[in-house]
Structure 1
Amino acid sequence: MTDTASPRRIRKDAAANRLGLLTAAAHTLAHDPTASIDTIARAAGLSRRALYGHFDDRDALVRELIASGAERFNAIAEGVDDSGPAPVVLARLALALWEGAAHVQFAAAIALDDIHVGDTATVLVPLRRRVLRIIERGRDEGTFRTDLSAVTVSRLVEEAARTVITRLDGSRPDAADVAARAILGVAGLGWREADTVLGSLRP
């Protein structure tokens, strides 16, 4: 029994240590963006050597942090209700993504900075496709702008979301609405129209 249980326990401990490292990295980097690998290891309750058993270097750790966050955003997008007009769906998506990003805003900001945004975009392909479909649907409905191609509008929406996540003060009580309004504005809605859409989503 001991011989068969031990490898399982080792694998379980290794998975727990890896998850602990990622959690510690997110919290540590939120307080100190320049935190060293030693600082992150200590925050996770591990040695530097143990950390290198999971990640080759600090960049590999950050890339893993980005990938796990991006997959979370993909899952959030997949779960957003697709019913209703395109502006409502886009607003619903924006609010859900903001809520997800607000809890890990620093990690999201790292994922969307100029150094890492290329890698992040690759992992976020499912989310990006969802945004494009919503934009195309809104154009067909006559609610989104048609002076630019759907692909261009979709990319502008992404850039607006990137700016909001990396620049907007997440402690603002109206932060979620500001994020949604920015994205709806890029898609072609006026502020009064955006207000109506957001009003329809409030309890």
Structure 2
Amino acid sequence: MTTTEVPPSPPRAPRRDATENRVALLEAARLALRSDPDASLETIAAAAGLTRRSVYGHFATRDELVNAVVVAGAERVASSITAVRGDDPLTTIALIGDVLWAQVDHVRIMAPLAVRGPLRAVTAAALEPVRTLLLHTVQAGIADGSIRPDIDADILARLVESTAIGVLEEASRSELSTDAGRRLVMLATLGAVGLSWQDASAVADRAATHTHEETTHAR
């Protein structure tokens, strides 16, 4: 007797409302955590129009929800920064700072915690493409003489990253405006690779013009 094998059924797609609820939770968490990193699960659920109990259908714990928000944010930052194309290494470094600021300005409180706090392991993999781009840019600048050669490229790239995060921390303390913070992150990172404040200012101006032209072209 011959039996016919019945192929396994494909996994069912999540219901539309479940998918939408997850998206709503992530967005509510992102908005709540940007002003209060300690926002409770109840606060986040209420902002999403859900109950605390319904949250557990998507995330087992508050930490799991926060991790998902941080990873999504890091992936968004990485996608934006790895698309940066400057005319030279110094302009590229300034543009990396500019794009970083544009992506995290609205979550200044969370950004340093994500990179330096207990969630740093969660964000490291997502940000690896950014670190690779930064290292290659620093190496190119050392090779063409525009970036200081007296510090190892790996160390210098990490110093640039730390400088950018330091500006975010200062921006949170000093309540810098969006424009002031954007310029400061460019000046500070350019200073880290060896530029004087005058030269850093000139490169930042050049990068700002590049950004304006890109924005105008996109329209």
Q: Aligned residue for 2:149? A: 146
* Divergent runs of 4+, >3 A: none
Q: Aligned residue for 1:104? A: 107
Q: Which amino acid aligns with 2:179?
A: P
Percent of paired sites with the same residue: 35
**C-alpha distance in 1, partners of 2:167/2:200?**
16
Q: Which moved more, 1:30-39 or 1:93-102?
A: 30-39
**C-alpha distance in 2, partners of 1:66/1:39?**
18
CA RMSD of aligned residues (A): 1.7
Alignment of 1:107-122 (within 5 A): 107-122=110-125
Alignment of 1:4-153 (within 5 A): 10-82=14-86, 84-153=87-156
| Aligned counterpart in structure 2 of residue 180 of structure 1, from 173, 186, 199 | 186
Q: Which has the larger radius of gyration?
A: 2
Q: Aligned residue for 1:4? A: none
TM-score (norm 2): 0.83
The alignment covers a number of residue pairs equal to 195
Stretches of structure 2 that go unaligned for 5 or more consecutive residues are 1-11, 210-219
**C-alpha distance in 1, partners of 2:113/2:30?**
10
Cα displacement (A) at 1:170: 4.5
Cα displacement (A) at 1:27: 1.5
**C-alpha distance in 2, partners of 1:88/1:75?**
19
**C-alpha distance in 1, partners of 2:112/2:152?**
27
**C-alpha distance in 2, partners of 1:181/1:11?**
49
Cα displacement (A) at 1:58: 0.8
**C-alpha distance in 2, partners of 1:85/1:67?**
30
Stretches of structure 1 that go unaligned for 5 or more consecutive residues are 1-6
Residue by residue over 1:24-57, the C-alpha shift from the partner in whole angstroms, topping out at 9 and shown as x without a partner, is 1121123332221111111111111111111110
8 Å CA contact retained: 2:138, 2:147? yes
